[in-house]
């Protein structure tokens, strides 16, 4: 398997290929502005990998394919579960604190997670432990 591409920002890897319309909806949702208007900053920091060579790979398999020197604290996976849900909860994978730990997040909350982790304002567990009972983080105070 090919190593994931070098990236200056956050890698978002598509592993689910169940439908192009669903994929386009996730892509559009990743650009939704959150309450703090992080969308423009966030879009500039995202590298999307849309290659069928990564179809069906697990988060553990993707961890082994990260490029040397990738410094972002998380990896984002758009898998079949994200594409088949109306909420499009993408998988967030920890690369620092508990490497490989995961939770899902609705796309509108991803910029906040990325920014807070990249400046060490918050820790991965704070978001993961705040996910709802179904394992999806929808923001603080939504449970």
Q: Tokens 């956050």 label which residue?
A: 10
pLDDT of 34 > 60? The answer is no
Q: Do β-strands 10-14 and 46-49 pair in parallel, antiparallel, or remain unpaired?
A: parallel
Instruction: Kindly list the structural domains of the chain, giving each domain's residue range(s) and its CATH number in brackets, ordered by start.
Output: 10-137 (3.40.50.800)
pLDDT of 113 > 50? The answer is yes
Q: Over range 38-55, report the average pLDDT.
A: 75
Q: What is the pLDDT of residues 53-108, one digit of tens each?
A: 999 999 999 999 999 888 899 999 999 999 999 999 999 999 999 999 999 999 98
pLDDT of 44 > 70? The answer is no
Q: Are 62 and 14 a contacting pair, CB within 8 Å?
A: no
Instruction: Categorize the per-residue pLDDT at 27 as very low, low, confident or very high, splitting at 50, 70 and 90.
Output: confident
> Residue 69: its pLDDT value, please?
85
């Amino acid at each position: 398997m090919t190593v994931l591409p070098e990236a200056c920002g956050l890698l978002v890897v598509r592993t689910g290929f169940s439908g192009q319309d669903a994929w386009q909806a996730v892509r559009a949702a990743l650009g939704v502005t959150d309450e703090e208007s992080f969308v423009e900053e966030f879009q500039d920091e995202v590298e999307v990998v849309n290659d069928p060579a990564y179809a069906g790979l697990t988060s553990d398999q993707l961890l082994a394919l990260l490029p040397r020197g990738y410094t972002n604290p998380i990896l984002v996976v758009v898998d079949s579960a994200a594409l088949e849900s109306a909420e499009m909860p993408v998988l967030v994978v920890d690369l620092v604190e508990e490497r490989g730990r995961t939770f899902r997040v609705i796309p509108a909350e991803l910029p906040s997670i990325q920014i807070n982790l990249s400046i060490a304002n918050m820790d991965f567990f704070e978001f993961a432990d705040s996910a709802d009972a179904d394992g999806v983080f929808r923001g603080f105070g939504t449970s």
